[in-house]
Amino acid sequence: MKSISAMVAVFAFLTLTFACRAGGADAAVVREKIKAGALVVDVRTPAEFASGAYQGAINIPLDQVEKRLADFGARKHAIVVYCRTGNRSGQAKVILEKNGFSDVTNGGGLKDMPPR
């Protein structure tokens, strides 16, 4: 019975761990988008952004994305969004796509972003 409980606990841990990256693109895809000139947008709060951000990223918090669509540039330009875990960036991706942006990639969390 202990081994079943232990397996269930491990399964739950792994599920939660990988769920945090849900919707995030493969690291190689993110790296190629950035290398090709994608706009990198951090959708965390200004305080989170100030505590450390991806080099070259701009900060447009999730709650401002829809109000600041002009700040994302051309609707066809590549955009990579990221946050802390990939959740808010996934929401930002949906908002941008609903507003006509055609090349939006969820980079996941800051820790998932490729080195510069």
pLDDT digits (tens, 9 = 90+) for 100-113: 999 999 999 999 99
Cβ proximity of 103 and 74 under 8 Å: no
Over 60: is that where the pLDDT of 3 sits?
no
For the chain, report the end-to-end CA distance as a whole number of angstroms: 48
Residue 20 appears among annotated catalytic residues:
no
H/E stretch holding 28 reads helix 27-35
Structural domain span for residue 71: 2-112
Q: What is the domain-level CATH number for residue 8?
A: 3.40.250.10
pTM of the model: 0.81
Number of domains into which the chain is organized: 1
pLDDT of residue 51: 98
Cite the beta strand spans of 1-116 per DSSP E: 39-42, 58-59, 79-83, 104-109
pLDDT of residue 11: 43
Considering the chain, what is the average pLDDT of its residues? 87
Sheet holding 79-83, edge to edge: 58-59, 39-42, 79-83, 104-109
Higher pLDDT, 10 or 65: 65
Selected catalytic residue, list 83, 104, 110, 113: 83
